[in-house]
């Protein structure tokens, strides 16, 4: 019996085939449930009912053939190993989908859309206003949002995609981040204008060894200040610790001690209106680089890149 002729056989496809039942909305609600820890909290965040969130997660489990989360009434939602793997991929897919949508609206390469910037708390008052104002002039289609916090807080948000870039002191950043320099900041002593050393051009911190220190205890500033003093042979007499730079300045203005700050300010009064002086330290200490950083593994969007380039341009002047 003669074999029947057949047409050419197509090679097996190597393309990834997406199930049509898997939707971006399901992934979005799954990510919300994972990040908020319960269907109820995710529903409030997404403006839907808890049943809608639960249904989206169940549909994903059906499509993928895997259990993604364990539901416990008293303890909320716990991701399984499969759920943890999906979470990273879902975040990336949602980000790419958002980028695709926004890129359609970019005409002639003009950046548009949101950019989330994290800024170390004490840097924000002297960094954010100029950057925001110049960005509005240069790239009006970019919507800037700013989150303040400690370096650890900002890096954690960067890692989960809540921030595009962060502006912080390089010394405290993980080495796996991509960084670009902005400027260098040197520590300065803050004194009441009535302090015995206020009329000097610079201050040797050893002359303050017996005086109380009002410590800005905000990582990494607190540790950097204590290390600076110890390197100069000073055992700091810490009178008060605070994470609020303005409280440091107000207590100094009252004559209750001296402070050390790494950022410069044009305002030489405390919040209470008391006169202050900020003086260089002698011998001159090491400058701390201030940088803009983002995850090394991620390519910046065009609008985030525009923010980085503008930050390097406008913040290069001494601060």
Write the CATH number for 123: 3.40.190.10
Residues 6+ apart with CB under 8 A from 179: 170, 173, 291, 292, 293
Question: In sequence order, what E strands does the chain have?
Answer: 69-72, 76-79, 113-120, 142-149, 165-169, 177-185, 188-192, 212-216, 237-242, 259-261, 276-280, 288-295
Q: Look at the pTM and tell me if it is higher than 0.85.
A: no
First to last CA, the chain: 90
- Cα 170 from chain centre: 13
Residues 252 and 236 both lie in one domain: yes
Average pLDDT of span 193-215: 97
Residues 30 and 174 both lie in one domain: no
- % of the chain beyond a pLDDT of 90: 64
Residues 229 and 245 both lie in one domain: yes
* pLDDT band at 297; cut points 50, 70, 90: confident
Residues 6+ apart with CB under 8 A from 10: none
Q: Is 299 left (phi over 0), alpha (psi -120 to 50) or beta?
A: beta
- Decide if 80 contacts 60 (C-beta within 8 A): no
Residues 246 and 163 both lie in one domain: no
pLDDT tens digits for range 105-147: 555 567 888 999 999 999 999 999 999 999 999 999 999 999 9
Residues 97 and 112 both lie in one domain: no
- Decide if 123 contacts 263 (C-beta within 8 A): yes
Boundary residue ending a domain (42, 73, 103): 103
173 in any annotated domain: yes
Residue span of the structural domain in which 162 resides: 108-184+289-314
252 in any annotated domain: yes
Query: Angle CA(299)–CA(133)–CA(244) in degrees, nearest 5?
Result: 85
178 in any annotated domain: yes
pLDDT at 291 over 50: yes
Residues 179 and 293 both lie in one domain: yes
- Decide if 173 contacts 151 (C-beta within 8 A): yes
Helix, strand, or coil (residue 40): helix
Residues 86 and 142 both lie in one domain: no
8 in any annotated domain: no
Residues 207 and 279 both lie in one domain: yes
Residues 179 and 193 both lie in one domain: no
Taking the CA atoms of 59, 61, 64 and 69 in sequence, report the sign of the dihedral they define: positive
* Cα–Cα distance for residue pair 165/162, rounded to 1 Å: 9
Residues 193 and 269 both lie in one domain: yes
40 in any annotated domain: yes
Which CATH number fits the domain that encloses residue 97?
Answer: 1.10.10.10
- pLDDT, residue 12, reads 39
- pLDDT, residue 267, reads 84
Q: Could you write out the three-class secondary structure of 123-174?
A: CHHHHHHHHHHHHHHHCCCEEEEEEEECHHHHHHHHHCCCCCEEEEEHHHCC
281 in any annotated domain: yes
* Tally of structural domains, the chain: 3
């Amino acid at each position: 019996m003669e074999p029947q002729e057949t047409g050419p056989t197509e090679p097996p496809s190597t393309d990834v085939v997406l199930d049509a039942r898997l939707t971006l909305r399901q992934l979005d609600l799954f990510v919300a449930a994972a990040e908020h820890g319960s269907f109820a909290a995710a529903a409030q965040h997404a403006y839907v009912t808890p049943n809608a969130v639960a249904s989206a997660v169940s549909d994903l489990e059906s499509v993928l053939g895997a259990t993604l989360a364990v539901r416990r009434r008293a303890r909320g939602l716990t991701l399984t190993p499969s759920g943890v793997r999906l979470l990273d991929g879902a975040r990336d897919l949602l980000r790419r989908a958002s980028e695709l949508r926004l890129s359609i609206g970019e005409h002639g390469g003009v950046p548009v859309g949101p950019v989330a910037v994290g800024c170390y708390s004490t840097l924000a008052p002297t960094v954010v206003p100029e950057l925001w104002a110049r960005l509005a002039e240069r790239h009006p289609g970019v919507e800037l949002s700013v989150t303040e916090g400690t370096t650890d807080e900002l890096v954690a948000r960067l890692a989960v995609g809540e921030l595009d870039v962060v502006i912080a002191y390089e010394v405290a950043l993980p080495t796996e981040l991509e960084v670009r320099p902005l400027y260098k900041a040197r520590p300065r002593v803050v004194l009441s204008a009535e302090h015995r050393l206020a009329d000097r051009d610079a201050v040797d911190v050893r002359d303050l060894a017996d005086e109380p220190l009002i410590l800005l205890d905000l990582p990494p500033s607190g540790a950097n200040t204590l290390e600076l003093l110890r390197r100069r042979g000073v055992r700091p007499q810490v009178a008060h610790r605070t994470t609020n730079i303005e409280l440091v300045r107000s207590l100094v203005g009252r004559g209750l001690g001296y402070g050390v700050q790494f950022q410069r300010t044009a305002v030489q009064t405390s919040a209470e209106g008391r006169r202050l002086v900020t003086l260089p330290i002698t011998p001159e200490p090491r400058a701390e680089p201030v940088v803009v950083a983002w995850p090394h593994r991620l390519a910046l969007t065009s609008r985030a890149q525009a923010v980085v380039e503008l930050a390097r341009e406008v913040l290069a002047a001494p601060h």
